[in-house]
Amino acid sequence: MSRVRSQAERLLEEATTTLTEAGVASPRVDAELLLAHVTGTPRGMLLGARLQGPQLQVYRDMVAARARRVPLQHLTGSAGFRYVDLEVGPGVFVPRPETELLAGWAVEQASAVLSSGRSAPPVVVDLCTGSGAIALSVVHEVPRAQVHAVELDEQAFAWAERNLGDTGADLRLGDAFEAFADLDGTVDVVVCNPPYIPLDAWESVAPEARDHDPSLALWSGDDGLDAMRRLERTAWRLLRPGGVVGAEHADAQGESAPAVFAGRWADVRDHADLADRPRYVTARRP
């Protein structure tokens, strides 16, 4: 005798089919996360959830939007990143899990300054902060650090203000590579998730990023390294001797990104992400 499926089961199956046909990478997970968001029910208890009339329409509208490749985080209004939750939406780059490793590196470097016994707190600068994800992680995990962040795009800056506004971080609106002249030579850690996609890679970029993330956060010249070159010069200006810089890059830039720091930098090395793909470069100012 067949079991009668619950309303939630039917909805999840329908949504999963819709999202699969739309090419969404994780259709079942997204269907569940949207249902959990609409109903306020934990994912592990979704099969017992019941949707009232308005909720049912909201859920179906959100599934339809996700099928149009609107980012999941834009629909739920939040993105988890390491140990914090960020407010995100249209106009700001949605932080990716890969970037959590770079943020963790920045946390480790700031913590190392504290453990060195130096009386002054570590000074950390997050360039191209976007939603403020890396800066907020450092604030949360290294509360004694002096954290500075900058964003050029006004819409993205508004989201960063929401996430960093009451944290004590110094958030500025402006060009990341011209900012913080008042900090020249005093910074311990410079961290950056710059734009790094080559202009001719349009077709290879997922619709969620290509159509919804701000263009300033994506494209960076013919080889994708224009911003990285500016970052190299800016980090050299900002860092104290012995200070370190870390920057994310595309998985195809595991050799070309570190090459930007070849020459005057010490300890230049590349780091892989959890899928063992080249993901970020670090270097030390001698």
pLDDT tens figures, 59-80: 999 999 999 999 999 999 999 9
- What is the per-residue pLDDT across 197-245, written as a single tens digit (0 to 9) for each? 766 665 666 776 666 666 666 656 678 898 999 999 999 999 999 999 9
Q: Is 54 one of the annotated binding-site residues? A: no
How confident is the model over 84-118, as pLDDT tens digits? 999 999 989 889 899 999 999 999 999 999 999 88
Between strands 146-151 and 170-173, the pairing is parallel
Q: Output phi, psi for 270, to 5 deg.
A: -105, 155
**What pLDDT was estimated at residue 205?**
60
Model confidence pLDDT, tens digit, residues 243-277: 999 999 988 899 999 999 998 999 999 999 999 99
83 assigned ligand-binding residue: no
pLDDT at 2: 40
| Ligand-binding site membership of 163 (annotated) | no
Other beta carbons within 10 Å of 115: 7
Q: Is 42 annotated as a binding residue?
A: no
195 annotated among ligand-binding-site residues = yes
- pTM (whole model) above 0.75: yes
Q: Report strand pairing: 123-127 vs 146-151.
A: parallel
Task: Sort 266 into a burial class: Cβ within 10 Å, 0-12 / 13-18 / 19+.
Answer: exposed
